[in-house]
Amino acid sequence: MTIKVLIADDHQIMREGLRAMLEKEHDIKVLGEAEDGRMIQRMTQELLPDVIIMDVAMPDLNGIEATRQIVAELPGVKIIALSMHDDRRFVLNMLKAGAAGYMLKDCAFKDLAKAIRVVMSHKTYLSHEVADIVVQGYLSSTDPKDPSAFQLLSPREREVLQLLAEGQTSAKIADKLHISVKTVETHRQKIMDKLKTRNIAELTKYAIREGLTST
């Protein structure tokens, strides 16, 4: 029995590459390709695939939203997220939306082929890079809320992070916030623990992604 697959990615060369590789598998048939979330939604209703390979970041309607809507309508369709990012927000939100698998784009194709067969047997497949992210996400999900990585930080921690990312030293931050240098360092340490960063460069990039500061 052949597995019917749809591909959703906003980059045509990526779609064609995936198709070229998938077509080497005898038991897999690629029904079509979509370049955004809205398009994959329509195609899914028409073509009823078994599996969708879904990019997370797409224009118009992103992969997370598309997944949520498709799973709500057609629970039988298995969706495998294929993403460049191992950002925990993407991973956790995608799984919460109902994805049956999450692969990074730097995985091997054979892993993807394997993932397709795994999700077909109603199991979840995660590439090993994201596995521990999910575990930690599960462990820290004592509350049913939306714990975006940003909300991981307390207001004070976000305040400190912003000043750090603006290039201020701990001493200056302490001065500005009227607290001791040691307190600033404690905040910084907690921030780095939570974000799993190890230095100012990574903290700065995180702050930029979260809009706490600009380039």
Question: Residues in contact with a copy of itself, total (CB under 8 A)?
Answer: 41
Q: Are 49 and 2 in contact (CB under 8 A)?
A: no
Q: Are 65 and 90 in contact (CB under 8 A)?
A: no
Please say whether the dihedral angle defined by the alpha carbons of residues 94, 54, 115 and 196, taken in this order, is positive or negative. negative
Phi, psi at 86, each rounded to 5°: -105, 20
89 in contact with DNA (CB under 7 A): no
CB of 20 to a copy of itself, least distance (A): 4
Of the candidate residues 38, 65, 185, 213, the single one contacting DNA (CB under 7 A): 185
35 makes contact, choosing from a copy of itself, DNA, none, with CB < 5 to 8 Å by partner type, with a copy of itself
Count of beta carbons in the 10 Å neighbourhood of residue 14:
16
Q: Are 166 and 213 in contact (CB under 8 A)?
A: yes
Which residues from 72-101 bind a copy of itself, rule CB under 8 A? 82, 84
Residue closer to a copy of itself, measured from CB, 69 or 79 = 79
176 in contact with DNA (CB under 7 A): no
> Rounded to whole angstroms, how far apart are CA atoms 44 and 30?
12
Residues in touch with a copy of itself (CB under 8 A): 10-14, 16-18, 20-21, 24, 35, 82, 84, 103-109, 112, 164-169, 197-205, 208-209, 213, 215
